[in-house]
Amino acid sequence: MLNNEQIFDFRRNRNMTITAAMVKELRELTGAGVMACKKALVETDGNQEAAIEVLRKKGEATAVKKSGRIAAEGIVYTTVKDGKAAIVEVNSQTDFVAKNEKFQTLVANVANQIVDSSATDMDTFMAEPWELDTTKTVKDELVSQIAVIGENMNIRRFERIESDGVIASYIHAGGKSGLLVEAAAPENDTVTAAIKTIAMQIAAMNPQYVSRNDISAEELAKMREITIDSALNEPDSLPKPIQKDIFAEALSQNVFNDEDKAIYEEKQNDKYLFNFLSKESKASLSSIAMAKKAEIMENKIFNGLVEGRVSKQLKEVCLLDQTYVMAADGKQTVAKYLDEVSKEVGATVAIKKFVRFETGEGIEKKEENFAEEVAAQMK
């Protein structure tokens, strides 16, 4: 026998005609499932707008359940138009969803809105009206798509560039990383092609700065300090006169065991001496070197070693100092390559800025046990 609620549902459904066309249209508008669309239409007496609102509310509830899952996959996307450019990273839980057409369309739409947005932070952007449906905010659209696609997603970060020069973009490995490059230069095919290759250089070599001028005195001092400590903790790489002083101090402090003392006496002039010493003795030599840091730093040979290592690091982290990946001689720097391009076009071509995003960079991924998750939901 039917209860009152069932009788009400029966009468309501009997007096209402929900056509396949109505369900299809609602599904196209929302991306929700067939049965979800039909139930929403029945619940709202066929009112499409009300049905969309019902699905949004249900979608939001679904999204809340998924929001605890870590979204560390996803894609990076770029948009360039009319002297403006945007780069955005949108994360999903799985690589499978990152390849989903609906997800990729969402990311493209987000990037297209960012390029024209005045928002400078994520909270402001998320509160903006969604350009494709101004009755919603960007956050509303994200929540809705979480419900449709079925995974937690996150608009993680974005950056915009406006320039009266040249902007080039590059997407690597289907969105695993992406970047924008801004150059002060005349816009023509030669310059555009050159900046595109620089973008590929940045994608491959991952510099941190355009040039040494972009590194603050504080950062440079920190780099030098780390290099000094690293050198002192590797006494086998120190100049011979410094090694001699450290060994003399070690012997006077009697830090070597009998075996290492014998090895030192036998092989003190052998360039592979350190290979024969115990870990304990090597650690003691490092400690002595650190204790004599102030004294060692006055040594010109040691300072030359440090400056050489710092210079090598700067060549790795500064774009203009890097070896150009397409250099015919394998030696030409990016700076020299840009000089060549400048001569060819008769105007200065200078890199002003670049922005590089890598998907999931810095996100601590959590190992999910989906069997346990399903079991927990069934309790």
CA-wise closest residue to 92 among 59, 109, 112, 67: 67
Residue identified by tokens 């945007």 is: 86
State how far the Cα of 26 lies from the Cα of 33, in Å rounded to an integer: 10
Which of 29-33, 112-116, 321-325, 350-354 is least confident? 29-33
Task: List Cβ neighbours of 335 (8 Å cut-off, separation of 6 or more).
Answer: 211, 320, 321
Neighbours of 247 (CB within 10 A): 18
Q: Identify the band that residue 374 occupies on the pLDDT scale cut at 50, 70 and 90.
A: very low
Q: Which domains does the chain have, with CATH numbers?
A: 4-65 (1.10.8.10), 75-206 (3.30.479.20), 217-316 (no CATH)
DSSP calls for 306-354: HHHHHHHHHHHHBGGGSBPTT-TTS--BHHHHHHHHHHHHTS--EEEEE
Residue 252's pLDDT is what?
A: 94
Across the chain, mean pLDDT equals: 87
CA-wise closest residue to 211 among 283, 71, 314, 134: 314
Please give the average per-residue pLDDT across 230-239, as a whole number: 92
Tokens of 15: 């007096």
Task: Enumerate the β-bridge partners of residue 184.
Answer: 350
Task: List Cβ neighbours of 214 (8 Å cut-off, separation of 6 or more).
Answer: 318
Which of 54-63, 86-95, 145-154 is least confident? 54-63
Residue 230 above 50 pLDDT? yes
Residue 62 above 90 pLDDT? no
State how far the Cα of 78 lies from the Cα of 171, in Å rounded to an integer: 8
pTM over 0.85: no
State how far the Cα of 244 lies from the Cα of 174, in Å rounded to an integer: 55
Tokens of 325: 């990946």
Angle, helices 240-253/258-267, rounded to nearest 10 degrees = 150
Please give the average per-residue pLDDT across 172-192, as a whole number: 94
Residue 373's pLDDT is what?
A: 44
Residue 54's pLDDT is what?
A: 77
> 282-302, pLDDT tens digit by residue?
999 999 999 999 999 999 999
SS percent in the chain: helix, strand, coil, step 5: 55, 15, 25
CA-wise closest residue to 356 among 209, 211, 223: 209
Tokens of 160: 């915009």
Q: Identify the band that residue 378 occupies on the pLDDT scale cut at 50, 70 and 90.
A: very low
Q: Identify the band that residue 29 occupies on the pLDDT scale cut at 50, 70 and 90.
A: low
